[in-house]
Structure 1
Amino acid sequence: MAQKIDTQELKFWSGNRTQIRKDYEREILQAVLKATENDFGLCKIEENSTELPGDEESKVFTERNYDLLVTIAGNQKFKDQDIFVIEKPLAKNLLGYRIPIVHQSALDKFNTKTSETKLKQLVHGIPETWSDVKIFEKNGYSVLEKGNLDSLFERLSNKEFDYTAFGANEISSVFERRASKFDNLGINDGILFYYPFPMVFYVNPNQKKLAERLDVGLERINKNEVMDSIFNSYYGTLIEDLKLNERRIFTLENPFIPKAFKTSEPDFKFIKSNN
């Protein structure tokens, strides 16, 4: 009789994310687990995409006992928790390229000649508890922190604020799924904001072995170019599709970025800041 092989069950929380991020992050996790199977054993992912309010998101380890999630390095919701942070970015720094979705009445204010002073006078609508809020406020931008993702674009359509911004890795998906039903909204093609905002694995403090596995696995899929292959399958045409190399970049300071990422530069080296 064949010996039964034990399979570890991995509780992965992927709520409060856009669909394209969920899909991408899941595929990276699957690749990591496959790359480490011989060393650490079989593993089955139990994914839960339950949406949680900001204060509940911080309890995914302490009260809900999930094993891991993907979030931005330096997420302040977890600043007082003793958790494992795997300091290897999962999607280069695409989430840190923030592209505006704008009300048509303000489109002419977002062009390559727009000054930083004028941009700071416009109101940036951001859902409650999102990390972007403190970053933009720290850099002197006007922010309206209110509501959630579900109500964001209706409020923008009603001119409650001038624009909102999403990472280059999710902007097209977000617009197609949520914003495109409002005829007076559009993706701006003149500017983008940049700040270090890498996505990384956060791991339950009781899962030291899992943290080791993720670190080893990410190293391997980086070396064998599996990560690049996955990245390119999702984002390989972004530079052209979003005209990234034609935009004016406004570089912001991220005061919460961990030391390991302090010197992060734009990943597309040919995109130059015109600040």
Structure 2
Amino acid sequence: MFRKNIIGVIILIFFSFPTIAKTNENNVIAPKTTTKLVSFGLNLDGFEDALLAQILSYQKADVLISRYPRWIPGVRAFQIMAKHQGIDIVWGSATKERFNTYLPVKAPIYKGLIGWRLAFVTQAKQQIFADVSTLDELRAFNPGQRLNWADYKIYKENGFTIASGSSRRALAEMLLLDRFDFFPRGVIEIEMEQREYTNMSIVLDPHLLIRYKSAFVFYVAKDNLELAKILTEGLHKAKADGSFDRLFEHHFKALFERLDLPNRRIIELNNALLPKEMLNIEEHLWISPKTLLDTIPPPRVSDHKNTGFAQ
């Protein structure tokens, strides 16, 4: 779904930090080395690149980071990363399987926004959720999902009867044929998809925000302990000095306003796919629909255990 945003994109970010050049035993200045990293993942208006740039800016070294130059399936990207064959960092959903296979940086880089859903409905059913305010009431309506999407498992676990389709386009057409009642999609992608449905009598439900705890995290290869440490410490510092929050606000505040997220009724779902380690992360690292920035004072940079990130 994000192929258009990723394919063919190569973004080079060069960081030059003031460092003291090392000298060898003959007092000859040795040339500084440059660390080269390659990343792969979603491209939401450049947020991920900006966040990585901030994380790596705390390093007293030169870092050259580029996006992987072509689109490949996510599974393949993880395989390349694990084998050190050209990708160093992948960001993706936090799942138990991935936590067991790769080395995660246990912090939600979208502050949990990845688990927020709005519903596409037909124009004729635009008010079907006008009086819905509980999960039990929502279960009276059937969602549509692809069988291999994580959301399919989540809705099934929460007691819904789900219609499955072979593709997003097929699901939209099934919605128009009343094969199911609503098509929930992530808030970070829904505006792009909404434009595709302009002439299809499909609209956004104006009432509900369906939410479950979910996260995208940075992953590195299981044996790449040094890079995991760099990313973890950089995230700690970005959270502590406020730059993480400012980046998030810059990229997503307008989205909150356009979709009227603070004024929607929230329906909470359970997500058994989320690794237990992510449940230990403090609540102020998960964004609230009512506000973009935390009101909790930022912790000190030197005291990592108080930042709220899972260790």
Superposition map of 1:251-270 within 5 A: 251-262=268-279, 267-268=287-288, 270=290
Count of matched residue pairs:
260
In the TM superposition, residue 196 of structure 1 has moved relative to its aligned partner by 0.6
Answer yes or no: is the 8 Å Cα contact 1:75–1:131 preserved in 2: no
In the TM superposition, residue 252 of structure 1 has moved relative to its aligned partner by 0.8
Q: Deviations over 1:113-157 (max 9, x none)?
A: 365445324332223422211111100112234324465444544
**Using a 3 Å threshold, how does the CA distance of structure 1 residues 192 and 152 change in structure 2: closer, same or farther?**
same
Alignment match, 2:210 = 193
Identity of aligned residues (%): 22
In the TM superposition, residue 236 of structure 1 has moved relative to its aligned partner by 1.3
Gaps of 5+ in 2: 1-27, 292-311
Alignment match, 1:225 = 242
Superposition map of 1:160-239 within 5 A: 160-176=179-195, 179-239=196-256
Q: Deviations over 1:231-260 (max 9, x none)?
A: 111111344322223222111111122223
Q: Deviations over 1:174-195 (max 9, x none)?
A: 323xx33433111111011111
Answer yes or no: is the 8 Å Cα contact 1:95–1:166 preserved in 2: no
2:44 pairs with one of 17, 20, 40: 20
1:138 pairs with one of 151, 154, 157: 157
1:8 pairs with one of 35, 39, 42: 35
Alignment match, 1:240 = 257
Alignment match, 2:309 = none
**In 1, Cα distance between equivalents of 2:123 and 2:72:** 30
Q: Which structure's relative contact order is higher, taking Cα pairs within 8 Å and 6+ residues apart?
A: 1
**In 2, Cα distance between equivalents of 1:259 and 1:201:** 17
Alignment match, 2:93 = 72
Superposition map of 1:64-143 within 5 A: 65=85, 66-74=87-95, 76=97, 78=98, 80-81=100-101, 83-113=102-132, 116-143=135-162
Alignment match, 2:53 = 30
Partner amino acid for 2:265?
Answer: R
Residue aligned with 1:182, SS: coil
Residue aligned with 1:92, SS: coil
Residue aligned with 1:109, SS: coil
Q: Please identify, of 106-115 and 244-253, the stretch whose mean Cα deviation from structure 2 is larger.
A: 106-115
TM-score by length of structure 2 reads 0.71
TM-score by length of structure 1 reads 0.79
